[in-house]
Chain A
Amino acid sequence: MWKSLSTATFAVGLVVGAMAHAEDITIAVASEVTAMDPHYHNTGNNNQIVGLIYDRMLHQDSNQQLEPGLAVEWGPIADDVWEFKLREGVTFHDGSPLTAEDIVFSYERVPNVPNSPSSFATYTAGIAEIIVVDDYTIQFRTNGPYPLLPIDLSTIQIVSSENPDATTEDYNAGSASIGSGPYKFVSYTPGESIVLEANKDYWGGAPQFDTVTYRPISSDAARVAALLAGDVDVISGVPTSDIATLEDNPNIVLSQGVSNRVIYLHIDSRRVYSPFVTDNDGNQMFNPLQDVNVRKAISMAIDRDTIVEEVMEGIAIPAGQVLPEGFFGVSDNIEVPEYDPEGARALLAEAGYPDGFKLTIHGPNDRYINDEQIAQAIAQMLTRVGIETAVETMPRSVYFGRATGDENGSEFSLMLVGWGSGTGEASSPLRALLHTRNDETGLGRTNRGRYSSAPFDATLQMALNTVDDNMRAALLARATEIAMREVGLIPTHFQVNTWGTRTGLRYIPRTDEYTRPTNVVIE
């Protein structure tokens, strides 16, 4: 009786609550923003929120496809010149018109933000010159062909040039936080909340919520509890272990979508001796991971379906390449490698390791969904085919520095890592993870396994210099096929993200993992 009564009260409370506050929404996210300055720190946590206050030249939709933003038309007019036509009649929140001058100002501000821990300058470095043709037409002259210009420009927020000397503190305090986006800045209390209100004059139409409150709740359990208690309406990062329980709860709606993040193994495939590879007696040996057949055997020994079903509780997608299907530059010819322990043993024997060898797999324990358990599962699978594998995991603050290593390469031999494609297409992981490392061009900067293949490099280079979209997609797919055939890295699965909302709301998943009120649907 008590139970049914309380459920009834609860339901009534919800209905009343929904009617009274349908126009307000509170969102709990796992991490705090580091600043409200949109050019200060390039991280997803910041970008998902400042992207509501500001517009970009082009926007990325929920699947990271480009769509018109401040620019309505764009395209190359020569191999190294792009022209953008701006939307007319866009105003900032203070009423002043947004013109080409503001766009030039924003791009010039990007490399010059003091103390910026991670600048957006990567995305403006390829621009040689910005030419303002008139108030609503801009041309970019680039350093050589630069097909990714529109994508790179879609990451940079446009601020008002009326505050030329605004500092990061001014943005945090709100006096400079004036954008043209769907929501206006109201307040920012570090560690506590960010409050935004609707910009009723938004060029894309008035947004559906009057007030949006973001709250950082880092503990997974506490975030779920806040949703159950009705304190918040939407949460990101529902832990996989809670999904089954929440699915049965009539007051909660879960939404899931694949992300642009691939979880993969980087393999030390260059060095003659690898720090964590030994023979069965523990003595140093020539690095067997140099042999493509050994790498292939490792890939075949991994039962991706079991990882997805058991470790990830079904909330992931087995991976055979660096981006899930549907993304630009993905190959249709690559299958997810089949689990084949017998074949793996045979390949190892053929490569001259019939008795296997010893290896340690390293991974973070606080970065990806269930990262530690994945590393453990992989170690067991490799041990089963004769590669006796130990596991060592550590906090991300220790792990990534050691995984990147110094000029002598990574401190590890086999490492579990993830990569989210910020550009939403295949060139991002291919150039960072698989291209031969080159400190001058920045290619292969995160190539921790030092995979290096001339045919792959050539194909990717060609793609990066091809402005034509169809041609480029084909070249990227071709490059992916080469790298996967040579097992430059071993993808295991694509991360699937889960959002929770109270009943009456639903979240449209975003592949970039952002949590935004603009993706919430009122039902």
Chain B
Amino acid sequence: MTVFIIRRLLQSVVVVAVMTVLVFAGVYAIGNPVEILISQDATEAERAAAIARLGLDKSLPEQYLSFLGNLLKGDLGTSFVFGEPALQLVLDRFPATMELAVCAMLIAILIGVPLGLYAGLRPDSVGGRTIMTGSILGFSLPNFWQGLMLIMLFAVILQWLPAGGRGERGEFLGIESSFFSWDGLSHLILPAINLALFKTSLVIRLTRASVRETINLDYVKFARAKGLKPSRVIGLHVLKNIMIPLVTIIGLEFGSVIAFAVVTETVFAWPGMGKLIIDSIFQLDRPVIVAYLIVIVFLFITINLVVDILYAVLDPRVRLSEQKS
């Protein structure tokens, strides 16, 4: 187990190294951030000074080496735009994105699994068909448009919920979060639904497919024949066996929800990491882009690790130490 975790962490270091090289080369190829940052009235000397101050006058390999040197000291660089430590900027926005992601995944699981189960058990019923047709909508409507429609309906026409932004944070057990205040929750609902719609559809379809597959297997038939109550057959035997694909997908999707909430955060002006990264890309703020991607890489690696450990918990046949990859 320990060896397994250590091997995973070493792999992540390789991924981060490759990723930073790509980002450095990529941002370097796009252009010079000073052109965007500097005042139009600045003189040539001031422009040169700004370039030198940001270290952009050095060659690309030199810039990369000095970045690596600082990285070993735990310093991911200072934002070109904000002048603050890049990692700090990313971590400051982390809780907001996390709130949104957790809320969206909860919605996806709590709605997706029961609906998928129903559609899988009664595939030909009106309800089952409606659920499946509905899930196509969840897949195919563009996220951006969905968000705007939610705002139009619930914020502009009905005026039930705010159109965007993050509300007040409540405090509970020393943790500050939107979950603990009504204002915070009311701001969280629409963006969370927006982010959850696609995932919900995915969970519905996956659950349904797995149920359809499992329901005809011998052990289920046997359990039925034994005279077990349907609730026990489904709740224990079926559900536990469809958990492996579900946990995989939910884990991966949780990572992608955190990493790519960009569209939702932009439409709802949610002050999370996605908003920060998109602004940073527009302004070629390389230290922030790199810091963000490093955080995301570690996040994915951690989630995958947790998923692998969960496999072992869910399925006694899985032994982690046997996995080579």
Q: Which residues of chain B (104-152) have a CB below 8 Å from chain A?
A: 148, 151-152
Determine whether B71 belongs to the interface, using a CB cutoff of 8 Å to chain A. Answer: no
Which chain B residues lie closer than 8 Å to A226 at the CB level? 155, 163-165, 269
Q: Report Cα–Cα, A446/B165, bound state, in Å.
A: 38
Determine whether B41 belongs to the interface, using a CB cutoff of 8 Å to chain A. Answer: yes
Q: Report Cα–Cα, A62/B80, bound state, in Å.
A: 32
A-B contact count (CB 8 A): 162
Would A445 and B151 be within 8 Å (CB), given that A222-B163, A231-B164 are in contact?
no
> Are the CB atoms of B163 and A225 closer together than 8 Å?
yes
One of A40, A172, A217, A422 near B269 (C-beta < 8 A):
A217
Determine whether B296 belongs to the interface, using a CB cutoff of 8 Å to chain A. Answer: no
Question: Which among A330-338, A381-389, A393-401 touches the partner chain?
Answer: A393-401
Which chain B residues lie closer than 8 Å to A230 at the CB level? 159
Q: B176: shortest Cβ distance to chain A, in Å? A: 12
> Are the CB atoms of A439 and B83 closer together than 8 Å?
no
Would A400 and B148 be within 8 Å (CB), given that A226-B163, A432-B41 are in contact?
no
Determine whether A122 belongs to the interface, using a CB cutoff of 8 Å to chain B. Answer: yes
One of B42, B44, B157, B164 near A222 (C-beta < 8 A):
B164
Q: Which residues of chain B (73-100) have a CB below 8 Å from chain A?
A: 78, 80-84, 89, 92-93
> Are the CB atoms of B83 and A218 closer together than 8 Å?
no
Determine whether A275 belongs to the interface, using a CB cutoff of 8 Å to chain B. Answer: no
Determine whether A65 belongs to the interface, using a CB cutoff of 8 Å to chain B. Answer: no
> Are the CB atoms of B31 and A402 closer together than 8 Å?
yes
Q: Report Cα–Cα, A395/B36, bound state, in Å.
A: 11
Encode A111-155 as 1/0 by CB contact (under 8 A) with B: 000111111111101000000000000000000000000000000
Determine whether B156 belongs to the interface, using a CB cutoff of 8 Å to chain A. Answer: yes
Which chain A residues lie closer than 8 Å to B40 at the CB level? 419-420, 422, 432, 446
> Are the CB atoms of B163 and A445 closer together than 8 Å?
no
> A397: nearest residue on chain B (CB-CB)?
B284
Which chain B residues lie closer than 8 Å to A401 at the CB level? 31-32, 35-36
Q: Report Cα–Cα, A215/B269, bound state, in Å.
A: 9
Determine whether B276 belongs to the interface, using a CB cutoff of 8 Å to chain A. Answer: yes
Q: Which residues of chain B (262-312) have a CB below 8 Å from chain A?
A: 266-269, 271-272, 275-276, 279, 281-284
Determine whether B30 belongs to the interface, using a CB cutoff of 8 Å to chain A. Answer: yes
Determine whether B162 belongs to the interface, using a CB cutoff of 8 Å to chain A. Answer: yes
Determine whether B62 belongs to the interface, using a CB cutoff of 8 Å to chain A. Answer: no
> B82: nearest residue on chain A (CB-CB)?
A34
> A223: nearest residue on chain B (CB-CB)?
B269
Determine whether B37 belongs to the interface, using a CB cutoff of 8 Å to chain A. Answer: yes
Number of interface residues of B (CB under 8 A): 55
> Are the CB atoms of B78 and A115 closer together than 8 Å?
yes
Determine whether B166 belongs to the interface, using a CB cutoff of 8 Å to chain A. Answer: yes
Number of interface residues of A (CB under 8 A): 62
> Are the CB atoms of B41 and A10 closer together than 8 Å?
no
Question: Which among B6-14, B45-53, B197-205, B212-220 touches the partner chain?
Answer: B45-53
Which chain A residues lie closer than 8 Å to B267 at the CB level? 219, 221-222
Would A117 and B81 be within 8 Å (CB), given that A218-B279, A398-B30 are in contact?
yes
Q: B262: shortest Cβ distance to chain A, in Å? A: 11
Q: B26: shortest Cβ distance to chain A, in Å? A: 12
> Are the CB atoms of A117 and B269 closer together than 8 Å?
no
Determine whether A13 belongs to the interface, using a CB cutoff of 8 Å to chain B. Answer: yes
> Are the CB atoms of B276 and A398 closer together than 8 Å?
no
> Are the CB atoms of B155 and A442 closer together than 8 Å?
no
> Are the CB atoms of B162 and A231 closer together than 8 Å?
yes
Q: Report Cα–Cα, A41/B47, bound state, in Å.
A: 13
One of A190, A221, A428, A445 near B43 (C-beta < 8 A):
A445
Which chain A residues lie closer than 8 Å to B162 at the CB level? 229, 231
> Are the CB atoms of A34 and B282 closer together than 8 Å?
no
Which chain A residues lie closer than 8 Å to B268 at the CB level? 222
Determine whether B323 belongs to the interface, using a CB cutoff of 8 Å to chain A. Answer: no
Q: B258: shortest Cβ distance to chain A, in Å? A: 16
Determine whether A35 belongs to the interface, using a CB cutoff of 8 Å to chain B. Answer: yes
Q: Which residues of chain A (3-17) have a CB below 8 Å from chain B?
A: 6, 10, 13
Determine whether A246 belongs to the interface, using a CB cutoff of 8 Å to chain B. Answer: no
Determine whether A404 belongs to the interface, using a CB cutoff of 8 Å to chain B. Answer: yes
Determine whether B2 belongs to the interface, using a CB cutoff of 8 Å to chain A. Answer: no
Determine whether B38 belongs to the interface, using a CB cutoff of 8 Å to chain A. Answer: yes
Encode B192-233 as 1/0 by CB contact (under 8 A) with A: 000000000000000000000000000000000000000000
> Are the CB atoms of A116 and B83 closer together than 8 Å?
yes
One of A41, A191, A428 near B41 (C-beta < 8 A):
A428
Q: Report Cα–Cα, A439/B47, bound state, in Å.
A: 11
Which chain B residues lie closer than 8 Å to A439 at the CB level? 44-45
Determine whether A32 belongs to the interface, using a CB cutoff of 8 Å to chain B. Answer: yes
Where the two chains meet, the residues of A that have a C-beta atom closer than 8 Å to any C-beta of B are 6, 10, 13, 32, 34-35, 40-43, 114-123, 125, 168-169, 172, 189-193, 215-219, 221-222, 225-226, 228-231, 366, 395-398, 400-402, 404, 419-420, 422, 428, 432, 439-442, 445-446
A and B contact pairs by CB, cutoff 8 A, 7 listed: A117-B80, A222-B269, A225-B156, A226-B163, A401-B35, A422-B40, A432-B40
Name 16 extra pairs, CB < 8 A, besides A219-B267, A446-B40: A13-B159, A40-B83, A42-B41, A115-B78, A117-B83, A122-B43, A172-B84, A191-B272, A191-B276, A215-B165, A225-B152, A230-B159, A231-B162, A231-B163, A401-B31, A442-B42
Where the two chains meet, the residues of B that have a C-beta atom closer than 8 Å to any C-beta of A are 30-47, 50, 53-54, 78, 80-84, 89, 92-93, 148, 151-152, 155-157, 159, 162-166, 266-269, 271-272, 275-276, 279, 281-284
Nearest 10 pairs between A and B by C-beta? Answer: A442-B43, A191-B271, A401-B31, A115-B83, A229-B155, A117-B37, A229-B163, A192-B271, A42-B39, A439-B44
